[in-house]
Structure 1
Amino acid sequence: MNIRFDGQRALVTGAGKGIGREIALLLSQLGAYVVAVSRSREDLETLAHEIHGEVIAAELGDVQQAQNAARQAGKINLLVNNAGISIPQSFLKTTVEDFDATMAVNVRATMVISQIIAQGMIQRGYGGAIVNISSQSSHLAVAEHTAYCASKGALDQLTRVMALELGPFQIRVNAVNPTITQTPMGMMAWSDPAKSGPMKARIPLGRFAKPLDVAHAVAYLLSSDADMIHGITLPIDGGFQTH
């Protein structure tokens, strides 16, 4: 296999840091023209020098900004819905405001952006590929992550419905579900060894994921090598689910 995306336009949300940045860099290295979206202008300024493409600053928790970013991105062949937030809170202390904010970015933005991008793919008649960045938290209850777990569970179901309805247009939709990943957000939530130790001990490979581990899986699912892979939620968990 020799994955290349020459001549294709890829939209990556949440591309400023962590997994999203790694995905944007990898897709650019593989020949794609990358449209990178982030709420951080500082992150985008540095990323712009490292990719072949363009950058868009947007707060995707705002519906209008999410729609504008999707339209501004132009004719997209490959979409990666990576943008996400985590506000660690126990169930009893989760606020309505933080729950709504999490769902707005982690689920609603994916729907809003995918609707616009998929409509463009359908109009052009060439199909396309979409990958949503979910989490093992979509099916594993994690203490202090009420809103995050709920949002990723919803994202998995959204992925399946998208796959069901967009498949006839030759638009493939999949999700990847990483374990804890060594990003600024991941390390913030899992910096305490007393908390991270037991989780890592349940991973047969004995480590958390690196952003590049996720980026490699995303590139494969976007590529023509994965032409018959559709509607899946792919664990990237070092064997966590073998327990």
Structure 2
Amino acid sequence: MTDTFNGKTVVITGAGKGIGRACAHLLAERGASVIAMARTQGDLDALSAQIGARAIQVDLSDSRAARNAMQTAGTADFLINCAGTNVLESVLEMTDAGYETVMGINLRAALICAQEFARARVRAGGGGAIVNVTSIAGHRGFEEHMCYAASKAGLEGATRVMAKELGPYGIRVNAIAPTITMTELAATTWSEPAKADPMMVRHPQGRFAEVDDVARSIIMLLSDDASFVSGAVLPVDGGFLAV
């Protein structure tokens, strides 16, 4: 049904591109009012024009700015923590700057956004749901992904704590762990067979994820169809972690 989220409001971080943008479009199609957060104003302008999203431009690496953005957004029914970044550095070459960039956006900002969302929901009487976007990198060791893996595994641990502490208020919290997802950037990165083939053979379905595969899984976890699902981490990986 296209009106599954009629009358509901969703905050989406990282809404300007990739999975976040796909979530914004799909939720708008299903009746939700979208509050889109992103760093690039042009991406936000496009979402406003295309789906009527309310746009909040913010650099989530700034913790005060992240908190202010959530307070500006106000009380919403749902939160999708989709903003993320990566700095490819090996264990021996990790830099303080790389660590701060990855952990600041992938983990700290997500915790701040969840905290502000939950505080507003509690003041409003409870209810609502959060989905945190993590990664299979939090489950398997990939070269040059140490900080990224730590941030995503940390967010999964935090998801379980949130589910426990916010459950009494009727707030559900789950995470999804996508495999390689064919955003515009990833499609270019993984276009070379020499790089893609070793990963592709580990995917039983014989392909990587499309952004809509991940977005639809997020929407499922937000929906009433998942009303008794909380504290879960759902791999969206075509069976990668199963083999």
| Interval of TM-score (by shorter of Structure 1 and Structure 2) | over 0.9
Specify the SS of the correspondent of 1:213.
Answer: helix
Distance in 2 (alpha carbons) for counterparts of 1:157 and 1:185: 28
Distance in 1 (alpha carbons) for counterparts of 2:171 and 2:191: 39
Deviation at 1:194, TM superposition (A): 2.2
Distance in 2 (alpha carbons) for counterparts of 1:189 and 1:80: 25
Specify the SS of the correspondent of 1:174.
Answer: strand
Specify the SS of the correspondent of 1:106.
Answer: helix
The equivalent of 2:200 in structure 1 is 200
The equivalent of 1:90 in structure 2 is 90
The equivalent of 1:209 in structure 2 is 209
Deviation at 1:68, TM superposition (A): 1.1
Distance in 1 (alpha carbons) for counterparts of 2:28 and 2:69: 19
Specify the SS of the correspondent of 1:105.
Answer: helix
Counterpart contact for 2:136–2:241, Cα < 8 Å: no
Deviation at 1:227, TM superposition (A): 0.3
Distance in 1 (alpha carbons) for counterparts of 2:134 and 2:214: 11
Which runs of structure 2 are paired with 1:41-80 in the superposition (5 Å)? 41-80=41-80
The equivalent of 2:23 in structure 1 is 23
Deviation at 1:89, TM superposition (A): 1.7
Counterpart contact for 1:32–1:52, Cα < 8 Å: no
Counterpart contact for 2:2–2:30, Cα < 8 Å: no
Counterpart contact for 1:107–1:154, Cα < 8 Å: yes
Deviation string for 1:34-75 (max 9, x for gaps)? Answer: 000000111111111112330110000101110111011111
The equivalent of 1:143 in structure 2 is 143
Deviation string for 1:181-203 (max 9, x for gaps)? Answer: 01134346545432321111100
Which runs of structure 2 are paired with 1:120-139 in the superposition (5 Å)? 120-139=120-139
Counterpart contact for 1:3–1:225, Cα < 8 Å: no
Deviation at 1:205, TM superposition (A): 0.4
Specify the SS of the correspondent of 2:221.
Answer: helix
Distance in 1 (alpha carbons) for counterparts of 2:194 and 2:89: 17
Counterpart contact for 2:3–2:31, Cα < 8 Å: no
Distance in 2 (alpha carbons) for counterparts of 1:220 and 1:181: 18
Deviation at 1:179, TM superposition (A): 0.3
The equivalent of 1:234 in structure 2 is 234
Deviation at 1:2, TM superposition (A): 7.1
Distance in 2 (alpha carbons) for counterparts of 1:140 and 1:6: 38
The 1:185–1:107 alpha-carbon spacing in structure 2 relative to 1, beyond 3 Å, is farther
Q: What fraction of aligned residue pairs are identical, expressed as a percent?
A: 44
Bigger mean CA offset, 213-222 vs 186-195: 186-195
Distance in 2 (alpha carbons) for counterparts of 1:203 and 1:3: 34
- Aligned residue identity for 1:201: V
Bigger mean CA offset, 174-183 vs 3-12: 3-12
4+ runs deviating over 6 angstroms: none
Residue-pair matches, total: 243
Deviation at 1:96, TM superposition (A): 1.2
* TM-score, normalised relative to structure 2: 0.96
Deviation string for 1:197-232 (max 9, x for gaps)? Answer: 111110000110000001100111001111001100
Distance in 2 (alpha carbons) for counterparts of 1:2 and 1:21: 18
- Aligned residue identity for 1:10: V
Specify the SS of the correspondent of 2:12.
Answer: strand
Specify the SS of the correspondent of 1:50.
Answer: helix
Deviation at 1:24, TM superposition (A): 0.7
Specify the SS of the correspondent of 2:76.
Answer: coil
The equivalent of 2:169 in structure 1 is 169
